Amino acid sequence: MPRYLQLAAVLRHRIETGIWSVGEQIQTIDQLEREFGVARVTVRQAIELLREEGLLQSQQGRGTFVVKTIERDRWLVLGSDWKSLLAPIKGNVPFPLPKNGAATAPTLEPGDGEPADSYVFLNTLQKRDGVPYALARVHIAKQVYDRAPASFRSRIALAVVSSMKDLSIERAWQTLIVAGADPETAHQLDIAIDAPIAKARVVVRGRGNIVLYIGEITYRGDCVRISIELTDAQR
């Protein structure tokens, strides 16, 4: 990653955590240059990026000031059970991106199960109140998709799967990793390059160990909370 993006991430974190509050003057270019051991041009590029994001403003002869904090509305709780995973997204709307339709089988990992005969691929941008919060690359077994194609086109795919009362689901699980947004992800989700993101891989398996659904979903880090019930710690 370019040095200026790394530095911008550090400076952004200082604003997010309140180390630098709104109205406060940040360190000078000389001070930042010495602190991080980078070239002056790197510091200028990092500050310019945060100016473009509306977080900083330079005042001639005075310095650079914080003009806006980073608002966090972590409404999306990625819980450790099926119900809490579905609750916040059931009514949200997917917006199709290129490459929807028929697809080869998804890449299965050891322990996932057996592939279905064929899959339908959905590549969508998911929004809440008009604001993008997730990119979803989803494979759905064609025999499942064909039961409610209109619903899959207009609703979050996992919510449709969960609403199929006669669909036998033997196991479903989710794995998460935390990363930084690459340029394409940052563009689609309207966030800064290298801003925090959560990558979820959700697998739903039916009878005969057949994989009915695999979703690779990338969430904006500023809307996500991870909730894990520590039952063994309760006394």
With cut-offs at 50, 70 and 90, classify the pLDDT of residue 218: very high
Contact 59, 51 (CB under 8 A): no
Amino acid letter, 182: D
Burial 42-61 (b: 16+ CB within 10 A, else e): bbebbbebbeebebbeeeee
Residue 184: closest CA among 235, 218, 210, 212? 218
What string of H, E and C letters represents the secondary structure of 30-52? Answer: HHHHHHHCCCHHHHHHHHHHHHH
Q: What is the mean pLDDT of the chain?
A: 87
User: Residue 119 is encoded by which pair of tokens?
Assistant: 């899959």
User: Residue 12 is encoded by which pair of tokens?
Assistant: 């952004």
User: Three-class SS of residue 140?
Assistant: strand
- Domain 3-66 - what CATH class? mainly alpha
Q: Which of 25-39, 40-54, 95-109, 208-222 has the lowest mean pLDDT?
A: 95-109
Contact 47, 63 (CB under 8 A): no
Contact 181, 191 (CB under 8 A): yes
Q: Indicate whether this model's pTM tops 0.85.
A: no
Where do we find the tokens 């005042």?
Answer: 59
Q: What is the pLDDT of residues 87-123, one digit of tens each?
A: 777 777 889 888 766 566 788 999 999 999 999 999 9
**CA pseudo-torsion sign 89, 93, 97, 103:** positive
Residue ranges in 129-205 assigned as alpha helix (H): 142-145, 149-154, 157-163, 183-189
User: Cα separation of 169 and 148, whole Å?
Assistant: 17
Q: Where are the chain's structural domains?
A: 3-66, 76-232
Packing angle between helix 40-52 and helix 3-16, nearest 10 degrees?
50
Q: What is the pLDDT of residues 154-180, one digit of tens each?
A: 889 999 999 998 899 999 998 989 888
CATH of 76-232, one of 1.10.3720.10, 3.40.50.1970, 3.40.1410.10, 3.90.1150.10: 3.40.1410.10
User: Three-class SS of residue 188?
Assistant: helix
